[in-house]
Amino acid sequence: MSERMSNRQQNNELIESVEQAMHQQLQQKTAGLNAMNRRGFLKLTGIAGGGLILALSTMPEVLAADATEEQTDPLAGTLTLNTFIKVQTDGKVQIYAPNADIGQGVRNALPMIVAEELGVKWEDVEVLQAPVDERFGRQSTAGSNSIYRNFETMKQMGASAREMFIGAAAEAMNVPRDELKVVNSQVVHASGRGMSFAELVGPTLLNQPVPDPGSLRFKDKSEYTIVGSSEITGIDNANLVTGSPLFGIDIRLPDMLYGTYHRCPASGGKVVSANLEEIKAMPGIKDAFLVEGSGKPRELLDGVAIVGTSTWAVFSARRKLRVEWDESEASKDNWDEIVAKAELVKDSLGDEVIKEVGDVDTVFADPANKTITAHYEYPFLAHVCLEPMTCTAHYKKGENGEEDKVEMWVPHQIPQRLYGGIEGIHGLKKEQIQLNPVTRIGGGFGRKLYSEYANEAIAMAKRVGVPVKHTWTREDCMHHDFYRNGGFQNLKAAVDSEGKLVAWQNHLILMVHNGRPAVGGRLNPAEFPMLNLSNVKGTQSRFDIGTPCGALRAPGANFNAFVVQGFIHELAETAGRDHLEFLLEIMGEPRWFDEGNIRSMNTGRAAGVIRLAAEKAGWGKPMPPGEGLGLAFQFSHAAHAAEVAHISVDANKKLTIHKVTAAIDVGPIINLSGARSQIEGAVVEGISHMMGQKITMQNGRIDQSNFHDYPVARMAAAPSEIDIHFIESDFSPTGLGEPGLPPVIPAVTNAIYMANGDRIRKLPLVEAGYSIA
């Protein structure tokens, strides 16, 4: 590790020296190119390591142009990448992947876009994880935004480099450039003559003028050989199956110690004292000490830190801890009390009106209409990332007037978010913090957006003066999560004499922290079907809680789909109509609800995935007794997704999920293998949420502690088949990390009703007596 770091430092110094030597030349080359396209322009930055580095430069005005979208989702944000291409003298191409990979395959997808436009053979590409650096923009893996925000940028980067290779070949071969094209890492002339990338790396390529971004021609989809291919599998697959070091938990450094951190069982408790001397006397323990937190759960909570020679040593010592806590300001939440409180208000409207259109009361009062009500309940959920929270930190005290520094290896979904918290807690400015390239992340789902585990590691490393790898236990992860908030929705709706939905009322009981809605917990006035109907009323009631909440895969949609799509099915049954027909009727004519906004719902695209999923699942076919088909749709994170579940259930409520058919429209698919994997994983995770997962608390303390009482779906629970279909529309591509999860739960619960008449309005299913067959 230290030798690798030394090589990297030497390489960086070489790049810096070459950049300085070329500065005057670059100034001359870029003179007159001040009129910037919003995506920037390609410029040469240097030669190092036997190759040519090409960089997409994003200027301040470009950043400003990209920052026009109003952000209300904390997961969403302006993302502008500075991704680099390095061409080796042997023709191999290294492409930096700027975003963290948490299993969604972004380390494949973004470089694939670059490679496609560049014209390089995928076999000639090596993907490198980019340093954490502002040159790469906002290096965020969240909100299914990576592809959406960077597709055009990646295309431009590859196409610009391609044009420079063509220019170099035109000079070398003395032919017009419009007679050349790039194919499989070669620039080929119309006559059949060609030059490889390896032959072109040199001064001629170096001296090519920077292409005008407005002049670039991008490939047509029909020309793609890399993007959309199902043959390109995960670049980390071999290392994953052989157990090679990839993850944050795999970090090993010379003289490294190991740490653990004990927090108050009730969130917000402050440490008073602990039996530190007894702990420090235990085998393998180097130090134990109290840490005063910032008071903010996402930054650093009070606790007891233990550092020792092995993870086993510090975990063993921690079991002997005796800590006195001040819980005067700690959470006092009790799930049973929250449920009882919701029961008292379920038949009333919320005190906060979110949306009101038309007159629902008049429609409900019309005796010609059929009106039904329902009360839905869903629990708090934990993230249960298989790789627990972990961070390795090396705090280096400044000598001879130098400032302190910290070097970190941290699996984090938005590593640049760490800077502010570290400065506020530990007093280190950005230039004193070295964040190494983000490791592969063994599960995130939104949990690794937060930074407290990194700040805990820094506190330990600062105390002992050597690298410390800090690892949470599974119980830590369960007891100190930022949970998907639980909640309740009371719905009322009416269908007229023709079976059409004519009024919709929704009362959401949401969880708030000091009056502010928990992440993903608000009632969105644009939630389907409230945006489609002429008579709508949406209200909210707020329950203030102390349990920390955060984003979990498909925030908001992951519980709204269960409620809304389940209730629409109830209404279809009340109206005596086919669910598919009823749902499509609510969609209405094809239209955007926010014209020109790719992230708004399009009823035409919605109807397209609904029809396709139903068709592929054999909707309408006769089903044997005890079997059922269930349909659900959800617009989530700019994606239109529909799923149909085929299930059977016996008299003992033993459930078998035979097949889930999914139809998704996110525009062009970049990596088909990765896209399928994301939907398969989302379906299985949704089944976990549905079957047995539930977080409860008493006196602020989480009841569940590990997989024995918070079960993850095993192989028997997985559908025998997951049949996935993508509508590769011509719209700009959007992400797939979230959208596949929300529809699966209502698809299954609707299918259960069709199989045995049992209407599911409360999760998880184990509480209604269901289990996997």
Q: Are 630 and 662 in contact (CB under 8 A)?
A: no
Query: Parallel, antiparallel, or unpaired: how do β-strands 697-698 and 536-544 relate?
Result: unpaired
Reported as a pLDDT band with limits 50, 70 and 90, residue 72 is: very low
Give pLDDT tens digits for 617-626: 999 999 999 9
Distance CA 253, CA 470 (A): 13
Query: What b/e string do you get for 686-705 counting C-beta neighbours within 10 Å, with b at 16 or more?
Result: bbbbbbbbbbbbeebbbebe
Longest dimension (CA), the chain: 86
Residues whose CB is less than 8 angstroms from the CB of residue 471 and which lie 6 or more positions away in sequence, other chains included: 249, 258, 259, 260, 311, 388, 389, 390
Domain spans of the chain, in order of start: 3-240, 248-329+389-471, 345-382+483-772
* Three-class secondary structure of residue 193 per DSSP: coil
Inform me whether the pLDDT recorded for 35 exceeds 60.
no
pLDDT mean across residues, the chain? 89
**Residue 592: DSSP 8-state:** B
62-65 contacts, C-beta under 8 A, 24 or more apart? 62/36, 62/37, 62/38, 63/137, 65/38
pLDDT of residue 378: 98
- The CA distance from 647 to 703, in Å, is 32
Altogether, the residues listed in the chain come to a count of 773
| Residue 572 exposure: Cα atoms within 13 Å on the Cβ side | 22
Structure tokens at 128: 């490198």
Query: What's the token pair of residue 33?
Result: 């190119």
| pLDDT reported for residue 57 | 41
| CATH entry, 3-240, from 1.20.1440.230, 3.40.30.10, 3.30.365.10, 2.40.40.20 | 3.30.365.10
Task: Say which CATH class 248-329+389-471 falls into.
Answer: alpha beta
Mean pLDDT of 707-729: 96
Could you read off the pLDDT of 465-512 as tens digits, one per residue? 999 999 999 999 999 999 999 999 999 999 999 999 999 999 999 999
DSSP string, 641-702: EEEEEEEEE-TT-EEEEEEEEEEEE-SS-S-HHHHHHHHHHHHHHHHHHHHT--B-EETTEE
| Residue among 132, 32, 125, 135 nearest 84 (CA) | 135
Query: Residue 505 is inside which H or E element, if any?
Result: strand 501-513
DSSP state of 534: S
pLDDT tens-digit profile of 686-702?
999 999 999 999 999 99
Percentage of the chain lying above the pLDDT 90 cut: 80
Q: What confidence category does residue 564 fall into, taking pLDDT thresholds of 50, 70 and 90?
A: very high
| Residue 153's pLDDT band (cuts 50, 70, 90) | confident
Predicted confidence band of residue 53 (pLDDT cuts 50, 70, 90): low
**345-382+483-772 and 248-329+389-471 share a CATH fold:** yes
Quick check: 663 and 609 in contact, CB under 8 A? yes
- Indicate the pLDDT class of residue 598, thresholds 50, 70 and 90: confident
CATH 3.30.420.40 fits 345-382+483-772, yes or no: no
> For residues 140 and 142, what is the distance between their CA atoms, to the nearest angstrom?
6
Query: And the tokens for 394?
Result: 């090396």
Tokens coding 428: 């280190």
Report yes or no: 266 and 156 within 8 Å, Cβ to Cβ: no
Taking CA atoms, 668 is separated from 113, 332, 609, 664, in Å, by 11, 48, 14, 11
pLDDT tens digits, one per residue of 671-688: 999 999 999 999 999 999
Q: Which two tokens stand for residue 529?
A: 């079907």
Angle (deg, nearest 10), helices 557-575 and 744-756: 30
Which residues does 548 contact at the CB level (< 8 Å), separation at least 6?
A: 267, 297, 298, 481, 482, 483, 513
| pTM attached to this predicted model | 0.89
Confidence of residue 134 (pLDDT cuts 50, 70, 90): confident
DSSP 8-state assignment for residue 618: T
The secondary structure of 230-288 as a DSSP string is: SS---TTHHHHHHT-S-BGGG---TT-EEEEEEE-SBTT-EEEEE-HHHHHTSTTEEEE
Residue 698, strand partner residues: 701
How confident is the model at residue 202, as a pLDDT?
85
Summarised one tens digit per residue, pLDDT across range 158-202 is 999 999 899 999 999 999 999 999 999 999 999 999 999 999 998
pLDDT band at residue 138, thresholds of 50, 70 and 90? confident
Residue 578 is predicted with a pLDDT of: 98
Please give the Cα distance from 469 to 392 (Å, whole number): 4
**Start-end of H helices in 494-556:** none
Q: Is the pLDDT of residue 15 over 80?
A: no
